[in-house]
Structures are given as structure tokens and as C-alpha cells.
């Protein structure tokens, strides 16, 4: 079996590692823009090429007689790599452009939710010019301003965080309008969680819930990033969630998959990522992504007990209904090391030395190797994951591992700690009022 992994980040290293664990001993191939040392070591062969360069990617895939491909990042999905794979007769895990749109066009995604009565949609409006913009912002008062296109998680600005008042919100929205449509939506208050599912067009197999930490610095301060780290609990839900919250989130995702097919005529095959915010009125949808989260993939894939090759085959060939997808009942904590100054002014091209990881698992992300040494880029460098019976123990494992990564780097030591988790539980109690 020859499996191709598209992408070269931490998420894709976790995907490749899950595939490599298969007792079927698949041959792994990869396409990545930069050589991820972890993925490269797991591969029989790889192509260093932009993942969006469809022509080259498909040529590489057919000439290596790849049996199935799995697409990690959003960019190749947004340019229709899955469509091209399908035309070339290559089974693929990763939705076609028509339905991956749920991620890369936030305006379309919100209209899709509203028009089809998908639960959990906040009040919002899409603007393509500034007519009525100021009035709508003033009506909602507390808003989130979102450019409609892909921004790597960094284009969204929220009142009270990056935006001081309605005036600043209006100015930012106007600035963003120069690049395309802008979504203005009500600011939702609560704790966020991620729910990821394998989807075969019809059936969904859910992974445990994960909470990511977008902010660069301890105690959830500082600018938004791609994600500084994340945790999951042995119990499938997170410590601040109720079992019902998960059921509501699952229902929303199932409704979304079914409706995507009804509306577009295209089956959603791949990973669906639901980002939810748990408000006093239950879970609301922040956004959907058409892929695994990065870092969230690194929480769930290492504890996947089912053979990843069987999962990939079931997704690509519509057989997920008859596969029992299981995850170990373990807690996980993932922490990213990033270049000093990230995300505003990251210190690239600095050497990183990886010491003893102990019981932690290391996933490489945006680094490169030269003369046997590993260097930073401008993005997140590497992640360590601890797995244990409790979040507390998993945190210790991750922390002890990350302390042995030496370089001009930064990480958040608070992710997964008891103190931060208590804060989140209390925050949710306050919001729910009990
Ligand atoms: P996104 O790029 O959509 O993931 O948004 C980045 C971050 O902005 C999310 O992780 C949330 O913390 C925040 N966010 C997005 N939409 C809202 C909203 N309607 N209310 C409050 N926070 C939001
Ligand atoms: N961790 C957020 C994302 O992957 O979009």
C-alpha cells in the first residue's frame, strides 16, 4: 500500500506517524514545501514542492502509483487538489473544493448555516462594501470582524481584544474590505473547544474534544497565533464541558455534512473540524475547517487505536459506517515551541537542539535541516505531546520534554496545567450561572 501525505507541518508529521504505526506497513510518500525532518524520516520518498502546485503533485502521485492520498493543510484543498486527484482516479482523504469552501469562504459558510437552519450560527452579516457597515457594528456593539478568505487564523479581530471600540472595528472592517468580503458577527463569550471527525461522505467518526490556545503568551494574553498548544481529556469531553454539549456539537456536524451534500451535490470526504464556543446558550460555531487542526491533530492521532490505513480506506471509499474507530482513553497535552518573537517578529534561521524527549512525542513543524542541524523558520517550530491517564500527568510529560529543546525559542508552560484548567472551569461556571 502506497500512501501519500500532502503537507509538511506538525499536523502532517502526526498524520504520517499514525500511518507508519499501521501493522500493514504502508509505504509513505510526501509532498511538502519544506523538508520536515520527521516526515522525511518516515517516507520512502518525498517531493519538495508547494502543495498547491496541482500539476506537479498529481504527476508525482501517478508516477509513483500511489494508492491513496491524504491532504493535511487547507491551501491545497482550496485550490481543488482533491478534485484533480479524483479526476486522475486517485482515492483521496480531503474534501473537494465545492465543500472545502466551508473553511476557505467564511461568508459562504455563514450563509450556508443560516439558509439551511444549521444550529449554532451567531447573528452576522456579510459585507462587500461599507453600506450599512457602521450601523450594523453599532447595532451589535460587541463584534468579531472576519475577512472572508483564508488568513491562517490571524485575520480575525475581536472587540475587547484586538479592537478597542466600535470605531476601531469599523476602521478594521473597512481596511479588510479592500481585499474582499468581510463578515461581521456578534462576539460570543465562553470557552472554546474543537471537535474533529473522520467523514466518508455520510458517516462521521468523532475524535475526543480538544482545546487549543490561540494566544501567544501565558494566561491567554498577546496576539493570536496558529495555536500554541492544546489538550484533551481521557473522558472524551473537556473538564469544563457537559456531556450534552458534545451531543449538540456532534449533531451540528452531522447536519452540516448531510446538508453540504444536499446543497452542493458533492460528498464531504475527509476530516471535518468544528470549532465551537460554549456560551450560556450552549455550543455555537466559530468556524468549520476542512482538515485536522494544527495542533489538535497531534492530540488525537497519537491515541488513535484503529489502524490509520483502515480509517483512510474507509473515508476514501465510503466505508466508515462499518468501521469501529477507537481512541485510547488517555489525556493528552501538546505544547508548541515557536521562534522568539513569534508571531509578530519571529527569529528565523536560528539553530534548535533537541535533547532527550523522555516519554514525550516530538513532532517537527516549520523547521529545516542543513548540514545535520535543524533551524527555525518564521512559523511554529516543533511540538511535544504528553500522553497519560490524566491531563496533569500528560502536562508534566510534555513540559519535561519541551524543556530539553534548546534555542532562541518561546513556548507556553501554562497549557494543560491545573491552574489554567481551573480557570477555564470557573469561567464556564460563571457563564452558565451554576
Ligand atoms: P478563526 O480564525 O475564525 O478561528 O478565529 C480566530 C479566533 O477568534 C477564534 O479562535 C476565536 O477565539 C475568535 N473568534 C472568532 N469568532 C468569534 C466570535 N463570533 N466571538 C468571539 N470570538 C470569536
Ligand atoms: N488550531 C487551529 C486550526 O488548526 O485552525
Q: Among the atoms of ligand 2, which is closest to the Cα of residue 291?
A: 4
Give residue 434's pLDDT: 73
* H helices, E strands: number in the chain: 14, 25
Q: What are 137-185's pLDDT values in tens digits?
A: 999 999 999 998 777 656 889 998 889 999 999 999 999 999 899 999 9
* Domain 123-186: assigned CATH number: 3.30.1490.20
Interatomic CA distance for residues 313 and 250, integer angstroms: 23
User: What was the pLDDT predicted at 259?
Assistant: 98
- Mean pLDDT over 321-332 rounds to 98
State how far the alpha carbon of 307 is from the alpha carbons of 162, 325, 386, in Å.
43, 9, 21
| pTM passes above 0.85 | yes
Mutate to test the pocket of ligand 2, among 10, 273, 287, 288 (most ligand atoms within 8 A of CB): 273
Q: What is the mean predicted confidence (pLDDT) over 324-336? A: 98
**C-alpha of residue 110 to centroid of ligand 1, in Å:** 13
Ligand nearest to the CA of 106: 1
The domain limits of the chain are 2-100, 123-186
Instruction: pLDDT band for 397, please (50, 70, 90 cuts).
Output: very high
Say how far apart CA 383 and CA 361 lie, in whole Å: 8
**Residue with cell string 478594521:** 172
User: Mean pLDDT over residues 61-87, rounded?
Assistant: 98
**Architecture of the domain whose range is 2-100:** 3-Layer(aba) Sandwich (3.40)
Residues with CB under 6 A from ligand 2: 153, 212, 227, 289, 293-296
In this predicted structure, what is the pLDDT of residue 353? 98
CA of 412 to the centre of ligand 2 (A): 17
What's residue 162's pLDDT?
87
pLDDT tens profile 260-289: 999 999 999 999 999 999 999 999 999 999
Give 101-144 pLDDT, tens digit per residue.
999 999 999 999 999 999 999 999 999 999 999 999 999 999 99
CA distance 61 to 316: 16
Q: What is the pLDDT of residue 153?
A: 58
Instruction: State whether the beta carbon of 187 lies less than 6 angstroms from ligand 1.
Output: yes
Mean pLDDT of the chain: 96
Distance 221 CA to ligand 2 centre (A): 18
- Pull the grid cell for residue 187: 462576539
What's residue 148's pLDDT? Answer: 86
Ligand nearest to the CA of 276: 1
Angle between helices 106-115 and 243-264 (to 10 degrees): 100
**Length in residues, the chain:** 434
| Residue 223 pLDDT greater than 90, yes or no | no
Cα–Cα distance for residue pair 66/90, rounded to 1 Å: 7
| 174 to 124, 150, 425: CA distances (angstroms) | 16, 18, 37
| Contact criterion met (CB below 8 Å) for 15 and 297 | yes
CA–centroid distance, residue 231 to ligand 2 (Å):
13
Q: What is the pLDDT of residue 154?
A: 63
Ligand positioned closest to the Cα atom of 158 = 1
- Of 291, 299, 188, nearest to 238 by C-alpha is 299
Q: Whose CA is nearest to atom 3 of ligand 2?
A: 293
| Tally of CA atoms within 13 A in the half-sphere of 115 that contains its CB | 11
The Cα–Cα gap between 368 and 33 comes to 11
What DSSP line would sit under 113-164, residue for residue?
HHHTT-TTPPSEEEESSSTTHHHHHHHH-SEEEEESS--TT-S-EEBTTTB-
Could you read off the pLDDT of 17-54 as tens digits, one per residue? 999 999 999 999 999 999 999 999 999 999 999 999 99
Average pLDDT (358-373) is 95
- Alpha-carbon distance 233 to 241, whole Å? 11
Cα–ligand 2 centroid distance for 154 (angstroms): 10
Percent of the chain with pLDDT over 70: 99
Q: How far is the CA of 11 from the centre of ligand 2 (A)?
A: 10
- 301 contacts 70 by C-beta, under 8 angstroms: no
User: Look-up: residue for cell 475577512?
Assistant: 147
Q: Determine the atom of ligand 1 nearest the C-alpha atom of 212.
A: 10
Residue 361 pairs in a beta bridge with 385
For residue 290, the CA-to-ligand 2 centroid distance in Å is 10
Dist. CA 288 → ligand 2 center (Å):
10
Tens of pLDDT, residues 286-308: 999 999 999 999 999 999 999 99
Ligand 2 atom 5: residue of nearest CA: 293
Average pLDDT on 8-12 reads 98
Amino acid at each position: 500500500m502506497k500512501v501519500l501525505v500532502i503537507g509538511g507541518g506538525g499536523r502532517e508529521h502526526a498524520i504520517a506517524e499514525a500511518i507508519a504505526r499501521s501493522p500493514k506497513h504502508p509505504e509513505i510518500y510526501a509532498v511538502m514545501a519544506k523538508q520536515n525532518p520527521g516526515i522525511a524520516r518516515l517516507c520512502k520518498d518525498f517531493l519538495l514542492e508547494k502543495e498547491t502546485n496541482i500539476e506537479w503533485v498529481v504527476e508525482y502521485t501517478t508516477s509513483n502509483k500511489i494508492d491513496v492520498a491524504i491532504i493535511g493543510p487547507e491551501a491545497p484543498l482550496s485550490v481543488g487538489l482533491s478534485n484533480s486527484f479524483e479526476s486522475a482516479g486517485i482515492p483521496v482523504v480531503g474534501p473537494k473544493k465545492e465543500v472545502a469552501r466551508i473553511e476557505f469562504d467564511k461568508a459562504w459558510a455563514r450563509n450556508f448555516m443560516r439558509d439551511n437552519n444549521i444550529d449554532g450560527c451567531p447573528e452576522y452579516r456579510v459585507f462587500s462594501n461599507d453600506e450599512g457597515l457602521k450601523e450594523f457594528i453599532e447595532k451589535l456593539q460587541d463584534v468579531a470582524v472576519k475577512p472572508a478568505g483564508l488568513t491562517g487564523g490571524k485575520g480575525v479581530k475581536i472587540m475587547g481584544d484586538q479592537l478597542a471600540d466600535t470605531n476601531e472595528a469599523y476602521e478594521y472592517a473597512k481596511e479588510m474590505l479592500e481585499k474582499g468580503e468581510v463578515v461581521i458577527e456578534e462576539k460570543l463569550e465562553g470557552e472554546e473547544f474543537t471537535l474533529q471527525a473522520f467523514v466518508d461522505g455520510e458517516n462521521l467518526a468523532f475524535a475526543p474534544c480538544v482545546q487549543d490556545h490561540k494566544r501567544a503568551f501565558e494566561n491567554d494574553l498577546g496576539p493570536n497565533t496558529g495555536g500554541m498548544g492544546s489538550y484533551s481529556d481521557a473522558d472524551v469531553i473537556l473538564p469544563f464541558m457537559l456531556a450534552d454539549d458534545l451531543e449538540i456539537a456532534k449533531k451540528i456536524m452531522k447536519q452540516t455534512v448531510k446538508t453540504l451534500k444536499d446543497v452542493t451535490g458533492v460528498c464531504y470526504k475527509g476530516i471535518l473540524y468544528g470549532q465551537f464556543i460554549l456560551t450560556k446558550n450552549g455550543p455555537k460555531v466559530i468556524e468549520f475547517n476542512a482538515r485536522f487542526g494544527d495542533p489538535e491533530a497531534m492530540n488525537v492521532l497519537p491515541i488513535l487505536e484503529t489502524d490509520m490505513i483502515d480509517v483512510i480506506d474507509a473515508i476514501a471509499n465510503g466505508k466508515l459506517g462499518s468501521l469501529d474507530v477507537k481512541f485510547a482513553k488517555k489525556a493528552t497535552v501538546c505544547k508548541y515551541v515557536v521562534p522568539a518573537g513569534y508571531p509578530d517578529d519571529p527569529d528565523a534561521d536560528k539553530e534548535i537542539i533537541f535533547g532527550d524527549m523522555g516519554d514525550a512525542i516530538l513532532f517537527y513543524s516549520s523547521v529545516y535541516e542543513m548540514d545535520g542541524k535543524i533551524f527555525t523558520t518564521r512559523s511554529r517550530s516543533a511540538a511535544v505531546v504528553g500522553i497519560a491517564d490524566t491531563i496533569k500527568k500528560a502536562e508534566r510529560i510534555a513540559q519535561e520534554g519541551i524543556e530539553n529543546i534548546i534555542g532562541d525559542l518561546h513556548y507556553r508552560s501554562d497549557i494543560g496545567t491545573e491552574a489554567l484548567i481551573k480557570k477555564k472551569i470557573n469561567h464556564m461556571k460563571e457563564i452558565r450561572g451554576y
